[in-house]
Structure 1
Protein backbone atom coordinates (compact mmCIF):
# COMPACT_ATOMS: atom_id res chain seq x y z
CA UNK A 1 0.00 0.00 0.00
CA UNK A 2 1.23 3.50 -0.86
CA UNK A 3 0.33 6.94 0.46
CA UNK A 4 -2.32 8.89 -1.43
CA UNK A 5 -1.59 12.57 -1.95
CA UNK A 6 -4.64 14.78 -2.56
CA UNK A 7 -4.27 18.21 -4.05
CA UNK A 8 -4.16 20.29 -7.20
CA UNK A 9 -1.53 19.74 -9.87
CA UNK A 10 -0.50 23.39 -10.24
CA UNK A 11 -0.33 24.14 -6.48
CA UNK A 12 3.25 25.08 -5.53
CA UNK A 13 3.08 23.21 -2.22
CA UNK A 14 1.76 20.10 -3.93
CA UNK A 15 4.58 20.36 -6.47
CA UNK A 16 7.13 20.54 -3.63
CA UNK A 17 5.52 17.58 -1.86
CA UNK A 18 5.46 15.47 -5.02
CA UNK A 19 9.08 16.34 -5.80
CA UNK A 20 10.10 15.42 -2.25
CA UNK A 21 8.33 12.05 -2.47
CA UNK A 22 9.99 11.36 -5.84
CA UNK A 23 13.43 12.40 -4.51
CA UNK A 24 12.94 10.05 -1.55
CA UNK A 25 11.90 7.19 -3.81
CA UNK A 26 8.45 6.98 -2.22
CA UNK A 27 5.76 5.56 -4.48
CA UNK A 28 2.42 7.30 -4.04
CA UNK A 29 -0.95 7.76 -5.66
CA UNK A 30 -2.11 11.25 -6.66
CA UNK A 31 -5.71 12.46 -6.57
CA UNK A 32 -6.30 15.79 -8.32
CA UNK A 33 -9.20 17.73 -6.81
CA UNK A 34 -9.70 19.69 -10.03
CA UNK A 35 -10.03 16.60 -12.21
CA UNK A 36 -11.66 14.13 -9.81
CA UNK A 37 -13.33 16.26 -7.15
CA UNK A 38 -13.21 15.72 -3.42
CA UNK A 39 -14.31 12.27 -2.28
CA UNK A 40 -16.93 13.11 0.36
CA UNK A 41 -16.26 10.06 2.55
CA UNK A 42 -12.54 10.87 2.59
CA UNK A 43 -13.28 14.50 3.44
CA UNK A 44 -15.40 13.31 6.37
CA UNK A 45 -12.49 11.19 7.62
CA UNK A 46 -10.09 14.15 7.27
CA UNK A 47 -12.50 16.36 9.20
CA UNK A 48 -12.58 13.79 12.02
CA UNK A 49 -8.80 13.31 12.00
CA UNK A 50 -7.40 16.77 11.26
CA UNK A 51 -10.32 19.07 12.04
CA UNK A 52 -12.08 21.55 9.80
CA UNK A 53 -10.02 24.53 10.97
CA UNK A 54 -6.78 22.88 9.82
CA UNK A 55 -8.28 21.78 6.49
CA UNK A 56 -9.83 25.14 5.60
CA UNK A 57 -7.23 27.30 3.85
CA UNK A 58 -8.03 30.87 4.77
CA UNK A 59 -4.74 32.14 3.32
CA UNK A 60 -5.33 31.25 -0.33
CA UNK A 61 -6.71 33.28 -3.21
CA UNK A 62 -9.88 31.16 -3.40
CA UNK A 63 -10.79 32.15 0.16
CA UNK A 64 -9.99 35.81 -0.43
CA UNK A 65 -12.24 35.85 -3.52
CA UNK A 66 -15.23 34.47 -1.62
CA UNK A 67 -18.04 36.80 -0.66
CA UNK A 68 -18.17 37.66 3.03
CA UNK A 69 -21.37 35.63 3.47
CA UNK A 70 -19.72 32.50 2.07
CA UNK A 71 -16.80 32.98 4.44
CA UNK A 72 -19.22 33.35 7.37
CA UNK A 73 -21.11 30.18 6.40
CA UNK A 74 -17.76 28.32 6.52
CA UNK A 75 -17.36 29.29 10.17
CA UNK A 76 -18.26 25.83 11.48
CA UNK A 77 -17.62 22.24 10.45
CA UNK A 78 -20.81 21.78 8.44
CA UNK A 79 -20.38 25.02 6.55
CA UNK A 80 -16.69 24.39 5.93
CA UNK A 81 -17.46 20.87 4.64
CA UNK A 82 -20.06 22.22 2.24
CA UNK A 83 -17.63 24.84 0.94
CA UNK A 84 -14.78 22.30 0.56
CA UNK A 85 -17.00 20.01 -1.50
CA UNK A 86 -18.17 22.91 -3.69
CA UNK A 87 -14.76 24.60 -4.01
CA UNK A 88 -11.92 22.13 -3.39
CA UNK A 89 -9.33 24.90 -3.77
CA UNK A 90 -10.16 26.03 -0.22
CA UNK A 91 -8.71 22.80 1.18
CA UNK A 92 -5.21 23.23 2.54
CA UNK A 93 -2.86 21.13 0.46
CA UNK A 94 -1.60 18.55 0.22
CA UNK A 95 -3.71 16.15 2.24
CA UNK A 96 -1.97 12.78 2.54
CA UNK A 97 -3.50 9.51 3.62
CA UNK A 98 -0.61 7.36 4.82
CA UNK A 99 -0.67 3.56 4.73
CA UNK A 100 -0.89 3.39 8.54
CA UNK A 101 -4.17 5.34 8.46
CA UNK A 102 -2.70 8.68 9.52
CA UNK A 103 -3.71 11.85 7.70
CA UNK A 104 -1.47 14.89 7.33
CA UNK A 105 -2.38 18.32 6.02
CA UNK A 106 0.26 20.51 4.38
CA UNK A 107 3.83 19.69 3.49
CA UNK A 108 6.45 19.33 6.24
CA UNK A 109 9.62 17.63 4.96
CA UNK A 110 10.99 16.92 8.45
CA UNK A 111 7.74 15.32 9.64
CA UNK A 112 7.46 13.33 6.43
CA UNK A 113 11.06 12.15 6.79
CA UNK A 114 10.35 10.99 10.34
CA UNK A 115 7.24 9.18 9.08
CA UNK A 116 9.23 7.55 6.27
CA UNK A 117 11.87 6.37 8.76
CA UNK A 118 9.36 4.45 10.88
Structure 2
Protein backbone atom coordinates (compact mmCIF):
# COMPACT_ATOMS: atom_id res chain seq x y z
CA UNK A 1 0.00 0.00 0.00
CA UNK A 2 1.46 3.35 -0.97
CA UNK A 3 1.43 6.31 1.35
CA UNK A 4 -1.12 8.89 0.26
CA UNK A 5 0.02 12.30 -0.84
CA UNK A 6 -1.59 14.46 1.81
CA UNK A 7 -1.91 18.19 1.31
CA UNK A 8 -2.91 20.32 4.27
CA UNK A 9 -4.34 23.77 3.51
CA UNK A 10 -4.61 26.46 6.12
CA UNK A 11 -2.94 29.25 8.03
CA UNK A 12 0.20 28.38 10.03
CA UNK A 13 -0.76 30.31 13.18
CA UNK A 14 -4.21 28.64 13.42
CA UNK A 15 -4.28 26.44 16.53
CA UNK A 16 -6.23 23.67 14.80
CA UNK A 17 -3.80 23.64 11.88
CA UNK A 18 -0.89 23.47 14.34
CA UNK A 19 -2.51 20.49 16.11
CA UNK A 20 -3.18 18.70 12.83
CA UNK A 21 0.36 19.21 11.54
CA UNK A 22 1.87 18.11 14.86
CA UNK A 23 -0.32 15.00 14.85
CA UNK A 24 0.75 14.06 11.32
CA UNK A 25 4.40 14.54 12.30
CA UNK A 26 3.90 12.36 15.42
CA UNK A 27 2.42 9.65 13.19
CA UNK A 28 5.46 9.85 10.90
CA UNK A 29 3.29 10.92 7.97
CA UNK A 30 4.77 13.05 5.22
CA UNK A 31 2.52 15.82 3.98
CA UNK A 32 2.66 19.08 2.07
CA UNK A 33 1.46 22.33 3.63
CA UNK A 34 -0.20 25.05 1.59
CA UNK A 35 -0.28 28.41 3.39
CA UNK A 36 -3.36 30.43 2.45
CA UNK A 37 -1.66 33.64 3.62
CA UNK A 38 1.46 33.21 1.46
CA UNK A 39 0.17 31.10 -1.42
CA UNK A 40 -3.47 32.14 -1.58
CA UNK A 41 -6.51 29.95 -1.94
CA UNK A 42 -6.20 27.66 -4.96
CA UNK A 43 -9.37 28.58 -6.91
CA UNK A 44 -9.21 25.36 -8.89
CA UNK A 45 -9.56 23.34 -5.68
CA UNK A 46 -12.64 25.09 -4.28
CA UNK A 47 -15.26 23.36 -6.50
CA UNK A 48 -13.95 19.92 -5.49
CA UNK A 49 -13.88 20.84 -1.80
CA UNK A 50 -17.44 22.16 -1.98
CA UNK A 51 -18.59 18.99 -3.72
CA UNK A 52 -16.79 16.79 -1.18
CA UNK A 53 -17.83 18.46 2.07
CA UNK A 54 -20.46 21.08 1.23
CA UNK A 55 -20.58 24.83 1.67
CA UNK A 56 -21.96 24.66 5.22
CA UNK A 57 -18.92 22.71 6.40
CA UNK A 58 -16.27 24.56 4.37
CA UNK A 59 -17.41 28.13 5.02
CA UNK A 60 -16.83 29.12 8.65
CA UNK A 61 -19.74 31.40 9.48
CA UNK A 62 -19.00 31.29 13.22
CA UNK A 63 -15.55 32.84 13.19
CA UNK A 64 -14.34 36.37 13.77
CA UNK A 65 -13.50 36.96 10.11
CA UNK A 66 -17.07 36.15 9.05
CA UNK A 67 -18.58 38.42 11.72
CA UNK A 68 -16.39 41.31 10.54
CA UNK A 69 -17.59 41.03 6.93
CA UNK A 70 -20.20 43.45 5.66
CA UNK A 71 -23.70 42.02 5.38
CA UNK A 72 -23.59 42.33 1.57
CA UNK A 73 -20.39 40.24 1.43
CA UNK A 74 -21.97 37.62 3.70
CA UNK A 75 -25.07 37.58 1.49
CA UNK A 76 -22.91 36.87 -1.58
CA UNK A 77 -21.90 33.57 0.03
CA UNK A 78 -25.46 32.27 -0.23
CA UNK A 79 -24.64 29.98 -3.15
CA UNK A 80 -21.55 27.99 -4.11
CA UNK A 81 -20.33 30.47 -6.74
CA UNK A 82 -20.63 33.42 -4.38
CA UNK A 83 -19.10 31.46 -1.50
CA UNK A 84 -16.07 30.62 -3.66
CA UNK A 85 -15.59 34.32 -4.39
CA UNK A 86 -15.81 35.24 -0.71
CA UNK A 87 -13.35 32.44 0.21
CA UNK A 88 -10.89 33.71 -2.42
CA UNK A 89 -11.12 37.26 -1.08
CA UNK A 90 -11.13 36.29 2.61
CA UNK A 91 -9.21 33.00 3.11
CA UNK A 92 -9.75 33.13 6.86
CA UNK A 93 -13.45 32.26 6.37
CA UNK A 94 -12.45 28.77 5.23
CA UNK A 95 -12.71 26.28 8.08
CA UNK A 96 -9.28 24.83 8.73
CA UNK A 97 -7.47 22.72 8.01
CA UNK A 98 -8.67 21.44 4.68
CA UNK A 99 -6.94 18.13 3.99
CA UNK A 100 -6.71 16.41 0.64
CA UNK A 101 -5.88 12.80 1.47
CA UNK A 102 -5.14 11.79 -2.11
CA UNK A 103 -3.43 15.03 -3.14
CA UNK A 104 -6.37 16.19 -5.23
CA UNK A 105 -9.61 18.03 -4.61
CA UNK A 106 -11.60 15.28 -6.33
CA UNK A 107 -10.33 12.67 -3.86
CA UNK A 108 -10.96 12.28 -0.16
CA UNK A 109 -11.27 15.70 1.50
CA UNK A 110 -11.78 16.56 5.15
CA UNK A 111 -12.29 19.84 6.96
CA UNK A 112 -11.23 20.45 10.54
CA UNK A 113 -9.16 18.14 12.72
CA UNK A 114 -10.64 15.04 14.33
CA UNK A 115 -8.15 12.37 15.45
CA UNK A 116 -10.60 9.49 14.97
CA UNK A 117 -11.55 10.61 11.46
CA UNK A 118 -7.92 11.25 10.50
CA UNK A 119 -6.87 7.80 11.76
CA UNK A 120 -9.53 6.25 9.53
CA UNK A 121 -8.49 8.37 6.55
CA UNK A 122 -4.86 7.33 7.00
CA UNK A 123 -5.84 3.65 7.01
CA UNK A 124 -8.04 3.91 3.90
TM-score normalised according to structure 2 size: 0.90
The one of 112, 120, 123 equivalent to 1:114 is 120
1:102 aligns with 2:105: no
Confirm or deny: 8 A CA contact 1:97 1:104 kept in the other structure: yes
1:43 aligns with 2:46: yes
The one of 14, 21, 24 equivalent to 2:24 is 21
Confirm or deny: 8 A CA contact 2:101 2:121 kept in the other structure: no
Q: Secondary structure at the match of 2:25?
A: helix
- Which has more helix, going by share of residues? 1
Q: Secondary structure at the match of 1:80?
A: helix
Confirm or deny: 8 A CA contact 1:52 1:81 kept in the other structure: no
Question: How many pairs align?
Answer: 118
1:43 Cα offset (Å): 1.1
Unaligned runs of 5+ in 1: none
Divergent runs of 4+, >3 A: none
